[in-house]
Chains A and B, each alone.
Chain A
């Protein structure tokens, strides 16, 4: 493998090389089992296979090269951090993934045991020196969303340069004011970090870049409404996951080619599974790379996933920033409004999320909704109960799953998911 070429770089980034080798090996095997075993994949997925195989290699090399030219790298954990501002100041924006179990014992020395797997993962990856992205960051931006993250950032700040944005919990006029102040504070911080002043021109270009990526992912989502489903849920999830750390323009181009292939498939009435395959919408907590456990269980049980109502899915792509602004001030307002439309469970009462899930389930012609909640996640745990009632009232079958990143419960998950799929099949008659 070309790994040897990257060793010096990983060493410079202070990774724990033996542990990191182990991680790459496990990841490679996991990817092979879950992804390469699929039949009838779209040709365009080769790009994703490549990007993923180079996630700790070429992409990190690109970041290092950019840094050598004076660019800054900003890491984030939440779709609330306005990427447009990062890009407008000439910095690189990456989502730090946190979708695997690593360094759990170390993490549990910094955060309580009953913390969700996602939080433990990003702390564990840092403490175990396994993530070259975190190691490449000039700044890590956190946000006051759930209590778990909010408090974890206090501990994390001792290990990385950290900025925490305050995200309001309601959406009244005064909350918008607070959020706008935070967006402006972020702008000032990024400008100070990069030494570049954001101009109307650079901000407009950044808005177009990020919107273009959202649009191509919207297009992908819309194509998945077709029956038979033109792409597996696993592949679609991977695309959404990769969107968080790939170069935005290159990514948009590659996915647009892939969408062309999907369009041809849909026109030919072809798909990855027979037309009578039960269709499921996933809904809930984000599934960060390489968290593919549930999609794999679902699609092995004979169903196909046709959408992800999550931050690594429609919550990140549904809303665009209005492009009609001409001054920085107008564009900032457009950004503030767009981000405040995010229907994260950290908001109260967040009833728009209930409507959005129902609308999405209908638009994707889903036979049922599979709710996914990470163990110990309060916000989504609460909303899962609320959403179950709403879906029931709408006559949409749903199953709520609570799990984490460990593999111990896979058999139990299988039984639940298979039973749900059998139930959907028998309903169809």
Chain B
């Protein structure tokens, strides 16, 4: 394997990802683990002995990485990390939507890929992957299949509650009224998407739109984002690791400039 010169680590509240780059900034390795209640132990497992001259951490647990890596770790926020990740995986993107397990972000970029404006929802599960996960359990469907299931639904049913708990109550009572489960599932997806669309509106959605985060794997969400915004989103190959990729790129740039000043 090519020599690793830069590591990027994204420590989210639900999962953590790692991306390793070589001297050409090509991805040579990546890994993913759940965060659990023992993030430091999980981080050690994620690194599995990997080291690199430059390490950048991002995500809500970014301050923890230094404890595990041993060498100095630069930290950047998720916003900057996603902007950098987009610059690598979809350089033309002008807006990023990230729906992760626990939070949602919308970021607008200028033509150079610099952040112009951002919005975050990280206080409440509604509008995040967590909401869909919870609802999939209610439907007793594996979360990976929930989107496909919902695609079989039709428009017409509405979920109004913003809160996960109330939305569940609404969904249950819709079922009791005899509505098709697929239609209710569609409505639940639509309620998440509605919130997302208003965040995109607030940052001023400018295409092309990059859709990242685990929820970007959900086909119903992709369909709804397209429907609600009129923009068909770019889905990166590995939507979960855009933040880690951006952090890795940040580390790589520091490596490149230090290599340059050393020669």
- CB within 8 Å of B: which residues of A? 397, 409, 411-412, 415-416, 418-419, 422-423, 426-427
Contacts and interface: CB of A to CB of B under 8 A. Distances in A.
A426 B114 contact: yes
Contacts of A415: 60, 77-79, 120, 122
Given A409-B123, A412-B123, A426-B114, A419 B78 contact: yes
Given A412-B122, A427-B114, A419 B77 contact: yes
A411 B122 CA distance: 10
Most buried by B among A411, A412, A423, A427: A423
Interface bin, chain B: 10 to 19
Nearest to B110: A427
7 contacts: A409-B123, A419-B118, A419-B120, A423-B114, A423-B116, A423-B118, A426-B114
Interface of B: 60, 76-80, 114-116, 118, 120, 122-123
Contacts of A412: 120, 122-123
Contacts of A397: 116
Nearest to A418: B77
A412 B79 CA distance: 12
- Listed from nearest, the 8 A-B pairs whose CB atoms lie closest are A419-B79, A419-B77, A423-B115, A422-B80, A418-B77, A412-B122, A415-B77, A426-B114
A89 B77 CA distance: 55
Contacts of B76: 422
Nearest to B77: A419
A397 B114 CA distance: 13
Nearest to A414: B77
Contact of B120 (A416, A422, A423): A416
Nearest to A398: B117
Nearest to A411: B60
Given A411-B60, A426-B114, A426-B115, A419 B80 contact: yes
Given A411-B60, A426-B80, A419 B115 contact: yes
A418 B123 CA distance: 17
B123 A423 contact: no
Contacts of B118: 419, 423
A422 B77 contact: yes
Contacts of B122: 412, 415
Contacts of B77: 415, 418-419, 422
Contacts of B116: 397, 423
Contacts of A411: 60
Contact of A423 (B60, B78, B79): B79
Contacts of B60: 411, 415
Given A415-B77, A415-B120, A419-B78, 16 more contacts: A412-B120, A412-B122, A412-B123, A419-B79, A419-B118, A419-B120, A422-B77, A422-B80, A422-B115, A423-B79, A423-B80, A423-B114, A423-B116, A426-B80, A426-B115, A427-B114
Contacts of A427: 114
Contacts of B79: 415, 419, 422-423
B62 to A, nearest CB: 9
